[in-house]
Each structure stands twice: as structure tokens, then as C-alpha cells.
């Protein structure tokens, strides 16, 4: 279990989430190339595992096969090993984003991922992060159901990192447009 983040002196506990989000956004732009490339590989592995975990079976009447379960387990183990190695070597540590359930949160995450992809796009070890784009699309589908709006327009699956950057930017802009019209939270009692 990971410990809860502590607020820096002068910041109340309620502001920690806001502080961490701002730190993460600024942090992606300030990463050195080697760290950015490691983070890029890590978030794509994370997205791959999450996509496998959340993908429904093609036939709901048939239980998952052993091979399906083993592939999910392998994907998690690869992601977890990379996460531990990354967090031992670099600061700030990577904390998986768990709540991409509102247009504002998903939009910020898409911009962070787009900026990360822009940092590493010219590196020869870089590849098209199709799992990352699939995660963004999957989260956008859940958000559009939640706020009862039309889904984001999609192109074919990305074939190059430039396509992935464009797709992440499209989802981010779609989220920004929704954030202005998303339903407010529960009404406050007087």
C-alpha cells in the first residue's frame, strides 16, 4: 500500500491533490530526455495493463481463458517491475492516475501525456503508444456516458507517435469543451 501524500508546509491536506496535479504538469515539461523516455515507456505499460484489465470478453457467456488471465498477469508484472525501477531511480515518483472520470481530470491527463510524447517523439527508442491512446479513448467513452454527451470523434488507431499526439490532443480539447458544460456536483445543502 502506498502512503498518502503529505502536504508541504503551509498547504492544507485538501489542497494536496491540486498541488500534486500542478507539480506533475510542470514536471513533465521539465524532465531530462532519459527520464522522459523511461516515463513514456512506463505510462504505456500502465495503459496496456489497464486496457487488458478493463476490456470485456468478446463473449460474455464464456469465462476468461487461462491464457487471457496469464496475459493480464504478465502485463501487470511487467508494469509493476518498471514502476518500482522507475520510482527507485527518478523523482518525482510516478503515481498511477486512478481518477480519470471527469472531463477536467481526463483533459489534464491527456495534455500531460501529449506533452510527454512530444518530449520523446524524436528519440529512436520511441514508438507509437497505441495503448495510451486506447486508454484515453476508453476513459473518454466512460466520461461521455456519465455526462450524457456525444463521444469524441475517432480516427483509425494511431500508427506513429505523431498520430498518438494528435489523438491525445483531440481528446484533451474535447474534454476542455465538456468541462464548461459538464453537470455540476451534488447541490450544496444550506
Residues 108, 18 contacting (CB under 8 angstroms): no
What is the three-class DSSP state of 62? coil
In terms of phi and psi (left: phi > 0; alpha: psi -120 to 50; beta: otherwise), the region of 10 is left
DSSP line for 16-53: HHHHHHHHHHHHHHT--HHHHHHHHHHHHHHHHHHHHH
The pTM assigned to this predicted structure is: 0.78
Res 57: pLDDT: 64
* 73-100 residue pLDDT tens: 999 999 999 999 999 999 999 999 889 9
Are 117 and 40 contacting, i.e. CB atoms less than 8 angstroms apart? yes
For the chain, domain boundaries: 13-179
- Cα dihedral 135→140→142→143 (10° resolution): 140
Reported as a single tens digit per residue, the pLDDT across 26-55 is 567 789 999 999 999 999 999 999 999 877
Res. 21: pLDDT tops 50: no
How many CB atoms lie under 10 A from the CB of residue 181?
9
Amino acid at each position: 500500500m502506498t502512503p498518502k501524500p503529505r502536504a508541504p508546509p503551509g498547504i492544507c491536506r485538501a489542497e494536496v491533490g491540486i498541488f500534486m496535479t500542478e507539480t506533475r504538469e510542470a514536471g513533465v515539461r521539465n524532465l531530462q530526455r532519459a527520464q522522459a523516455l523511461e516515463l513514456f515507456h512506463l505510462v504505456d505499460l500502465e495503459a496496456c495493463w489497464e486496457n487488458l484489465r478493463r476490456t470485456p470478453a468478446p463473449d460474455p457467456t464464456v469465462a476468461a481463458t487461462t491464457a487471457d488471465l496469464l496475459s493480464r498477469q504478465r502485463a501487470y508484472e511487467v508494469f509493476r517491475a518498471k514502476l518500482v525501477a522507475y520510482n527507485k531511480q527518478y523523482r518525482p515518483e510516478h503515481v498511477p492516475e486512478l481518477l480519470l472520470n471527469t472531463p477536467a481530470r481526463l483533459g489534464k491527463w491527456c495534455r500531460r501525456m501529449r506533452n510527454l510524447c512530444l518530449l520523446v517523439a524524436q528519440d529512436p527508442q520511441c514508438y507509437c503508444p497505441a495503448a495510451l491512446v486506447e486508454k484515453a479513448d476508453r476513459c473518454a467513452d466512460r466520461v461521455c456516458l456519465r455526462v450524457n454527451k456525444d463521444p469524441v470523434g475517432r480516427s483509425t488507431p494511431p500508427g506513429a507517435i505523431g498520430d498518438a499526439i494528435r489523438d491525445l490532443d483531440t481528446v484533451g480539447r474535447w474534454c476542455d469543451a465538456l468541462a464548461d458544460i459538464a453537470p455540476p456536483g451534488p447541490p450544496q445543502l444550506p
